[in-house]
Amino acid sequence: MLRMILRRLMLGAITVGLVSLIIFAAVEALPGDACTALLKQDAQGQRLLNCRQELGLDRAAPLRYLDWASAALRGDLGFSAHSTKRISVLVADRLKNSLLLGITALAVGLPLAFIAGILAALRRDKWLDLVLSALAIGAMTIPEFVSATLLILVFSGWLGWLPGIVLTPADAPLSKFFPEIILPVAALAMVMTAHILRTVRSSMIEVLDSDYVRMATLKGVPYRTMVWRHVLPNALLPAINVVALTVAWLLGGVVVIEMVFNYPGLGRLMIGAISDRDLALVQAIALIVASVYVVVNLTADLLTLVANPRLRTAAGRRT
């Protein structure tokens, strides 16, 4: 089993490496570079050449990639051309904010999704299931910016209960973000809960229809015990992967929510960086987000390995 874990880790590292290559190549392909962004109108002639020489941009691409990659591994992501601050400092603040948002959304959404998904499956096709499934589909299909906008309209505009925009600055301590964080978390949690609910529900239904659950029933196992002991462990296993995907999405794909609520997270920083052509920053953010995605998926993979007896004893897998 150790071999399988190592293999997964290696694959994860390769993926991150590939990602960094793709990012670097993509950014290279774009017109302009850090110097044109820095000097803006003055970016021409000798000044441009000097700048390039100074920043080491006149060297060959593969060398620059290696420089960047090795620095990144050490935690040094370079300087932001736009604000001339160290990128690691800039990103650290935003990262912590995004993490706050993400983890709160998870803490709210996950339990909700699991409980609702399990209940919906146990009461399949009854009214509870129909209502929950309809709600889930609704939350999944309505675009995030729409649900976010509607939430602001209702809770901030009409009812005035909660602030609609986040005004707290990026480097403020986490506690200051409350109560502004409530609506963004709600918007995030809505979509996330819907996806996980659907997956949990269909996984539960599949297990409820299985031969071994039928056998447990015919063995005389009481209903509640059967659900706890035979159904849940088997049904929740596949959900791990969807949770992983969702967690990864939370960090990277919540850009829209951050824009709507003006939340000072990694997503908003990224949009700003692209608009400003601050390429070093874009590269850095992309690398971080992609790495988180890979790490989360890896964790899910490993968790599944540990939790699923069939995979654990892969050496003994036969018959």
Partner 1 sequence: MKGAGQSRGVIRTLREMASRPSGAIGLFLVLLHVFIAIASPWLVPFDFKAISASLILSPPDSTHWWGTDHLGRDVLTRTLLGGREAILVTLVATPLAVLWGGFVGIYLGLVGGKLDDVLMRVVDAFLALPWILKMLLLIATFGSGIEVLIPTLAVFYGIPVIRIARAAAHNVVARDFVLAARARGHGRLAIIRRELLPNVLDALMVEGAMRWSWMLLAFSSLSFLGFGVSPPTPDWGLMVADSRTFLAIAPWSGLYPIVALSSLIIGINLTADALAKTLGVDRAQKAPI
Partner 2 sequence: MPLIDIRDLSIGFASRAGAMLPVLRNIDFQIRRGETVGLVGESGSGKSTLALAAMGYLKTGLQVMGGSVHFGEHEMFSLSRPALESIRGGEVALVPQNSGQSLTPTLRVGRQLLEAVALHSALPPAQHAHRVTELLRQVRLPEPETIAARYPHELSGGQQQRVAIAMALAGEPDVLLLDEPTTGLDVTTQAHILELLRDINRQTGTAMVYVSHDLGAIARVCDRVVVLYAGEVVLAGSTRQVLLTPAHPYARGLLASIPRLSEASLPSALPGRPPMPGGAGAGCSFADRCGLAEPTCRSSRPPLLALADGASTRCHFHERTSELVVTRPKLSAASAQVAGLAPALTLDGLAISYARANLLQQLLGRRPDVPHTVADINLRVSAGETIGLVGESGSGKSSILKAVAGLNPPVAGQLGLGGGDALAPNVDQRPPDHLRRIQLIFQNPDDSLNPRHTVAEILAQPLQLYFGLSGDALHARSVELLERVRLGAHYLDRLPSQMSGGEKQRIAIARAFAAEPDIVLCDEVTSALDVSVQAAVLELLNELKRDKGTTYLFVSHDLAVVRALADRVAVLYQGRLCEIGPAAEVYATPSHPYTEVLLGAVLEPVPDKAPILLADDIVELAPPAQGCPFQRRCPKKVGDICVTTAPPWQMAPSGHGICCHIPRNQLMPSDMEAQGHD
Does 17 contact partner 2 by CB under 8 A? no
CB of 216 to partner 2, least distance (A): 7
- Which option in partner 1, partner 2, none does residue 31 bind, with CB closer than 5 to 8 A by kind? partner 1
CA 250, CA 263: separation in Å to the nearest integer? Answer: 14
**Residues making contact with partner 1 (CB under 8 A):** 11, 14-16, 18-19, 21-23, 26-27, 29-31, 137-138, 140-146, 149-150, 152-153, 156-158, 195, 198-199, 202, 242, 245-246, 248-249, 252-253, 255-256, 259-260, 267, 270-271, 274-275, 277, 282, 285-286, 289-290, 293-294
Please choose which of partner 2, partner 1, none residue 234 contacts, taking the beta carbon within 5 to 8 angstroms, the exact cut-off set by kind.
Answer: partner 2
User: What's the token pair of residue 217?
Assistant: 């029933």
Task: From the list partner 2, partner 1, none, pick the one residue 74 interacts with, judged by a Cβ distance below 5 to 8 Å according to partner type.
Answer: none
The alpha-helical segments, DSSP class H, found in the chain are: 2-29, 34-39, 45-55, 61-74, 87-122, 127-141, 144-151, 182-208, 211-218, 223-226, 232-236, 239-253, 255-261, 266-275, 279-307, 309-312
Output the furthest CA–CA distance in the chain (Å, rounded): 86
The verdict on 75 binding partner 2 (CB under 8 A) reads no
Residue 121, classified by CB atoms within 10 Å of its CB into exposed (0-12), middle (13-18) or buried (19+), is: buried
- Tokens representing residue 171 in the block: 């480097």
Decide whether 146 or 172 has the Cβ nearer to partner 1: 146
Instruction: Pick out residues in 232-251 that bind partner 2 (CB under 8 A).
Output: 233-234, 237
Q: How far apart are CA 309 and CA 311, in angstroms?
A: 5
Structure tokens at 239: 């959900």
Q: Which of residues 273-302 bind partner 2 (CB under 8 A)?
A: none
| Cβ-based nearer residue to partner 1, 43 or 226 | 43
Q: Is 123 in the site for partner 2 (CB under 8 A)?
A: no
Query: What CA–CA distances, in Å, run from 19 to 221, 253, 294?
Result: 50, 17, 10
Q: Phi-psi category of 56—alpha, beta or left, where left has phi over 0 and alpha has psi -120 to 50?
A: left
Tell me how far, at minimum, the Cβ of 312 lies from partner 2, in Å.
8
The interface region with partner 2, picked from 33-41, 155-163, 217-225, 241-249 by CB under 8 A, is: 217-225
Q: What type of residue sits at position 115?
A: I
- Considering only 156, 217, 241, 304, the residue that binds partner 2 (CB under 8 A) is 217
230 binding partner (options partner 1, partner 2, none; Cβ < 5 to 8 Å by kind): partner 2
Closest approach of Cβ 223 to partner 1, in Å? 27
Amino acid at 8: R
- How many residues sit close enough to partner 2 to count as binding (CB under 8 A)? 28
In the complex, the smallest distance separating the C-beta of residue 5 from partner 2, rounded to whole angstroms, is 16
Q: Output DSSP code: residue 40.
A: G
Residue selected from 2, 127, 211, 275 as contacting partner 2 according to rule CB under 8 A: 211
- Length of the chain equals 319
Do residues 303 and 3 touch, judged by C-beta distance below 8 A? no
Residue ranges that bind partner 2, judged by CB under 8 A = 209-223, 229-230, 233-234, 237, 308-310, 313, 316-319
